A and B are shown apart, each in its own frame.
Chain A
């Protein structure tokens, strides 16, 4: 579904990604693990076309996207839930939910979304999206990209700083959308959480992918993983 080869990315003069290689197959949930500053967010942004400069190859459903603008990449069927959540304060909760244009058929309808996120239904009339709690904003940031029909979702640390119940709810949501045929690339610091949702894990360090661990081998690779992540 998504094949990344020799991906390089820069912010101005700083060269952040140094030849990232990995792939995500259709229907998989795959995580990017790695220490702070390893380049996980930059990889997500580079896939979406949101870095100032990128080189290499990013093929989505077989088509090269490295030369495309972010809006064209979105239209091809990739959607991002950014690390900072990106909820708009000048838009109501409903406007935030309805903001991303539908790019393909097969997205979830609003009743289904409210079923997955009952809190959002209660807060639908809130006039400013940023008045929601951190957890509610995170749900909204995920919910709005489920509507669009994009089948490849990039979720950047959706559980960061959230209470355990909400982390569990997000875990359920990820398994639910996987069952519905979505493909997910997930950035996670918390590999205990990652373990409950993912098929495979890529480990990043200094702007490169340095290892791949299938989920069923995660337990037996703990020593290695602790070393990679410095925990």
Chain B
């Protein structure tokens, strides 16, 4: 067995891959949070619960209706996205004129309600979701065996993150979004239906969280707490990357996943706290985050 820095190679690469997987979820979740924060000025505390809903909806589609993994990748984000759209239209939109704190409290409450409902209905032990057969097995990369499904998750996450980035930075819809983030009244005075744009942005960010949930279902068991486990780290990612920065969220998400994975190899005791350590250091040196813009 070959060794790197006194660590067995397969162990190192195994943790690196686990780190990349976690990083993929951090990136997708913090991306949605950043987009929502930019447009709505709300820190969406319900994001973890909506991620969990994505996993649950795909599990329900499979269990009750017999709809499999690949259609679920489209259907579950669509269903949860519509749920998000209704949430924004009926409840969240009432808070825009109030202090940010209310939006935070409301979405935090929504998260508790959603998770509570699922816990009541399904308990908290978790249900397995089978890896689709074409993605089962592992590939020998020479230096390690990579489970195919994990490789697929990293690949899809990278594609989805870059596609989201491209939509926001390179299309005219994205330009309208960025402009509305800067000065919504003026954009509305140019003829854009800004309230509708805000609703769609929220729904889009929520759909992205649900999409991540579907990807996560076969890796982590489908259970009501799966969002909560992630979301604390994801908030740290958003803070480190800089609120509202798209590329910042993506890069920071993957990087922190990897840092976490490597810490597990070299100093396992710190693996749960390393992300917050990085957050403290970044905040002390760059209060607006690594990719944050100056005021």
Contacts and interface: CB of A to CB of B under 8 A. Distances in A.
A55 to B, nearest CB: 19
B190 interface: yes
B98 to A, nearest CB: 15
What is the size category of the interface that chain A forms with chain B? 20 to 34
Contacts of A49: 189
Interface stretch (B154-162, B171-179, B208-216, B221-229): B171-179
A48 B175 contact: no
Interface string A73-108: 111000110100010111100010011110100000
Given A50-B185, A99-B187, A90 B178 contact: yes
A95 B188 contact: no
A74 B183 contact: no
B178 A79 contact: no
Nearest to B172: A98
Contacts of B191: 71, 74-75, 100-101, 103, 148
Binding site secondary structure of chain B? helix
Residue in B178, B179, B183, B190 with the greatest tally of chain A CB atoms within 10 Å: B190
Contacts of A80: 189
26 contacts: A49-B189, A50-B185, A50-B189, A69-B188, A71-B188, A71-B189, A71-B193, A74-B188, A74-B190, A74-B191, A75-B191, A79-B190, A88-B183, A89-B182, A90-B178, A90-B182, A91-B178, A95-B175, A95-B179, A98-B172, A99-B175, A99-B176, A99-B190, A100-B191, A101-B190, A145-B190
A70 interface: yes
Interface string A53-80: 0000000000000000111011100011
Contacts of A101: 190-192
Interface of A: 48-50, 69-71, 73-75, 79-80, 82, 86, 88-91, 95, 98-101, 103, 145, 148
B95 interface: no
B186 interface: yes
A86 B183 contact: yes
A88 B188 CA distance: 14
B185 A91 contact: no
A101 B186 CA distance: 12
B295 to A, nearest CB: 12
Contacts of B188: 69-71, 74
B181 interface: yes
Given A70-B185, A86-B183, A88-B183, A100 B190 contact: yes
Contacts of A98: 172, 175
Contacts of B172: 95, 98
A94 to B, nearest CB: 9
B18 interface: no
Nearest to A89: B182
A101 B175 CA distance: 12
Contacts of B179: 88, 90-91, 95, 99
B280 interface: no
Given A71-B194, A101-B191, 9 more contacts: A71-B189, A73-B189, A91-B179, A99-B187, A99-B190, A100-B190, A100-B191, A103-B191, A148-B191
B145 to A, nearest CB: 44
B175 A70 contact: no
Interface in B146-176: 172, 175-176
B249 to A, nearest CB: 16
Contacts of A89: 182
A80 B179 CA distance: 16
- Most chain A beta carbons < 10 A, residue from B185, B187, B191: B191
A227 B93 CA distance: 49
A132 B135 CA distance: 52
Contacts of A91: 175, 178-179
A78 B176 CA distance: 19
A99 B175 CA distance: 7
A101 B183 CA distance: 16
Contacts of B193: 71
Contacts of B182: 88-90
Contacts of B178: 88, 90-91
A138 to B, nearest CB: 15
Given A99-B176, A101-B192, A148-B191, A82 B181 contact: no
A180 B246 CA distance: 42
Nearest to B169: A90
